[in-house]
Amino acid sequence: MPQEVGRQYKEIMGKYLERPSEEDLYVGQQFSRRFIEKEIAPEDVISIHKTALIELHPELQDEVWNSLDFLIEMMIHYGLTLREHQSLIRKQEAIQMEMNVATKVQDTLLKTKMPCVGGLDVGYISQPATQMNGDYVYFLNKKHESGVAVADVIGKGIPAALCMSMIKFGMDGLPDGNTSPQNVLGIINRIVEKSVDDSMFISMFYGKYNAEDTTFSYASAGHEPALHFNSRTGEFSELDAKGLLLGVKPDTEYEERSVVLNDGDFIAMMTDGVTETRTEEGFIDMNAIQNLLHDVKDKSAQQIAEHVYHHLAGLQNYRLSDDFTIVIFKKQPEQV
Amino acid sequence: MQEMNLQVELLEQNSVQYFKVVGEIDAFTAPVLRERLAAVENVQGLKAELDLSEVDYMDSTGLGVFVGFYKAVSANGGHVKITGLNKRLNRLFEITGLNEIIDIEQKESEDHNATL
């Protein structure tokens, strides 16, 4: 095969040397693709050039042949570097394939079911900044209650994703009657603390809506406070509760608080990808987020979540710098 | 390529390892900080002071570095103190509950970025 390429090269170059034209130069440039396709190394290209030139112009002086030999030596390391580069590309393609599979496994493994209890409208959006999401939303459904965990694993990508399966299986294994936010965080903290390395940790907000008395109880493990919109006063208040990040100290205790929800009230639970949105002008502040929520306070929970996402992602030209997650629990009149 | 916009200076004063950190701590620069701190974290009974008065931005990756350092130093009977947090950084330590376990000293007078 190289002989065939060499023969064609000679033909194209011969034509050009006879009568140099832009057209033939362009043909030559196109022909160089053949070299790349056939993985012919740079030093071999010069050899082919030399062979062709000997056949076309044997009368040339020794300096020309010697200089071409010299050039061949010059190209040897370029050739090696090129081969290394090609092998890296192949490896990268293999890794990318594995990543695609991992993303699918993550989606399947971490699947969650939207809650469905009377009087509660739920909506959420969780968008990763890179391929794998380091934010995690998981719903825990019981007959008259809906629990939700909103977590942010510090660190991104694959290690973060692996960490999340720990949360999920920890929550699935919770004994019945032990689902108060305080207990949930305490138990998950012990699981995480035993398993993660020292610089990895998780922030998590756990909230639970009880349909029987319309209260929302919550606890936080070092997570961004949630916002409560009170439809009677038209004002927001921050729902913060004391508690350390998961995975730092084994015997951490979590404060639990609760608030009663009236029709039209909603709770917005977010990760720092929302509250720490950074634009060219600086950070967005809490008031801006409250205004965004207020603008759509009468819409459905899903519409509220989407409105906030599109506005804030739009500010960053849809290139998120951090994983972005918002969950809305909205109290609506019970349907009869 | 993102510029590595972070400097870490180390001074030893009366047996306290004093680190002055200047710049932004994010996913790109955190490895630099982690490496500098890791060099001393296994010293028995280490007394470390981290001055962050010239850090105006830190994300959760940066927080991860401090948590890792705190855990390693505590395990070796040492002590970590963090000083000079601006308002935004202080909020980060408060929300995460880390202010309850790490010794944090707020130097109001040096808080250049309080208005940020």
Using the CB atoms, write b or e for A240-262: b if 16+ within 10 Å.
bbebbbbbbbeebebebebbebe
Greatest Cα-to-Cα distance within chain B, rounded to the nearest angstrom: 40
Return the pLDDT at A104.
85
Distance from CA of A120 to the nearest CA of B (A): 28
CB contact under 8 A, B71 and A248: yes
Which structural domain range is residue A17 located in?
2-96
Report the CATH number at residue A170.
Answer: 3.60.40.10
Report residue A227: phi and psi, to 5°.
-115, 140
How far from the centroid of its chain's Cα atoms is residue A322's Cα? 8
Q: Is residue A102 part of a domain?
A: no
The chain B residue lying nearest A276, using CA atoms, is B59
Report the CATH number at residue A27.
Answer: 1.10.1240.30
Which residues of A fall below an 8 Å CB-CB distance to B? 152, 154-156, 197-201, 203, 221-225, 240, 242-245, 248-249, 252, 272, 276, 283, 322
CB contact under 8 A, B72 and A198: yes
DSSP secondary structure letters along B20-50: EEEEEESTTTHHHHHHHHHTTTTSTT-EEEE
Residue A272 burial by Cβ neighbours in a 10 Å radius (0-12, 13-18, 19+): buried
Mutant choice from B35, B67, B104 vs A, greatest count of A C-beta within 10 A: B67
How far apart are alpha carbons A188 and A221 in whole angstroms?
10
Q: Is A322 helix (H, G, I), strand (E, B) or coil?
A: coil
Q: Is residue A216 part of a domain?
A: yes
CB contact under 8 A, B96 and A244: yes
Helix (H) or strand (E) segment spanning residue A326: strand A324-331
Q: Which residues of chain B are within 8 Å of residue A251 when distances are taken between CB atoms?
A: none
How far apart are alpha carbons A80 and A75 in whole angstroms?
9
Q: Which residues of chain A are within 8 Å of residue B63 when distances are taken between CB atoms?
A: 154
CB contact under 8 A, B59 and A322: yes
Q: What is the mean pLDDT of chain B?
A: 84
Q: Are residues A124 and A84 in the same domain?
A: no
pLDDT in tens, chain A (336 residues): 568 899 999 999 999 999 999 999 999 999 999 888 888 999 999 999 999 999 999 999 999 999 999 999 999 999 999 889 989 999 999 988 888 888 888 788 888 888 888 899 999 999 888 777 778 899 988 888 999 999 988 766 677 777 788 888 888 888 777 789 999 999 999 888 887 666 677 899 999 999 999 999 999 999 999 999 999 999 999 999 999 999 888 889 999 999 999 999 999 999 988 887 777 777 777 888 999 999 999 999 999 999 999 988 888 887 887 888 999 999 998 765
Pick from A69, A96, A123: which residue ends a domain? A96
Is A207:A223 a contact under the CB 8 Å cutoff?
no
Q: Are residues A90 and A113 in the same domain?
A: no
Return the pLDDT at A197.
67
Question: CA distances (Å), A299 to each of A153, A304, A306, B73, B76, in order?
Answer: 30, 6, 11, 50, 54
- Count of CA atoms in the C-beta half-sphere (13 A) of A232: 4
Pick from A96, A125, A157: which residue ends a domain? A96
Return the pLDDT at A128.
83
Q: Are residues A90 and A146 in the same domain?
A: no
Q: Are residues A163 and A236 in the same domain?
A: yes
Q: Which residues of chain A are within 8 Å of residue B25 when distances are taken between CB atoms?
A: none
Angle in degrees, 0-180, between the axes of helices A22-37 and A2-18, rounded to the nearest 10: 170
Which tens digit of pLDDT belongs to each residue from B50-77? 999 999 888 878 888 898 899 889 989 9
Cβ pairs bridging A and B (under 8 Å) = 55
Q: Is residue A101 part of a domain?
A: no
DSSP secondary structure letters along A213-229: TTEEEEEEESPPPEEEE
- Count of CA atoms in the C-beta half-sphere (13 A) of B60: 26
Question: How long, in residues, is chain A?
Answer: 336
CB contact under 8 A, B95 and A240: yes
Question: Is beta strand A282-283 parallel, antiparallel or unpaired with respect to B16-25?
Answer: unpaired
Of A255, A251, A135, nearest to A193 by C-alpha is A251
Q: Are residues A207 and A123 in the same domain?
A: yes
Q: Is residue A11 part of a domain?
A: yes
CB contact under 8 A, A245 and B97: yes
The chain A residue lying nearest B94, using CA atoms, is A222
Percent of chain B with pLDDT over 70: 88
Pick from A63, A96, A129: which residue ends a domain? A96
Q: Is residue A104 part of a domain?
A: no
Q: Which residues of chain B are within 8 Å of residue A152 when distances are taken between CB atoms?
A: 60
Q: Are residues A168 and A260 in the same domain?
A: yes
Locate all alpha helices (DSSP H) within A110-221, ordered by sequence.
Answer: 157-172, 181-195
Q: Is residue A222 part of a domain?
A: yes
Is A326:A269 a contact under the CB 8 Å cutoff?
yes
Report how many domains make up chain A: 2
Return the bridge partners of A125, or none: A326
Is A315:A277 a contact under the CB 8 Å cutoff?
yes
Q: Are residues A16 and A52 in the same domain?
A: yes
How far apart are alpha carbons A248 and A197 in whole angstroms?
10
Q: Are residues A12 and A147 in the same domain?
A: no
Domains of chain B: 16-110 (3.30.750.24)
Q: Are residues A132 and A199 in the same domain?
A: yes
* ipTM score: 0.79
Q: Which token pair is A276?
A: 């720490």
Return the pLDDT at B111.
47
Return the pLDDT at B71.
87
**Stretch 43-102 of chain B: residues touching chain A, C-beta under 8 Å:** 59-61, 63-65, 67-68, 71-72, 88, 95-98, 100-101
Q: Are residues A185 and A290 in the same domain?
A: yes
Q: Which residues of chain A are within 8 Å of residue B87 when distances are taken between CB atoms?
A: none
Q: Is residue A273 part of a domain?
A: yes
Q: Which residues of chain B are within 8 Å of residue A249 when distances are taken between CB atoms?
A: 101
Q: Which residues of chain B are within 8 Å of residue A155 when distances are taken between CB atoms?
A: 61, 64
The chain B residue lying nearest A243, using CA atoms, is B97
Q: Is residue A10 part of a domain?
A: yes
Return the pLDDT at A63.
95
How far from the centroid of its chain's Cα atoms is residue B42's Cα? 17
Of B27, B72, B98, the CB nearest to A245: B98
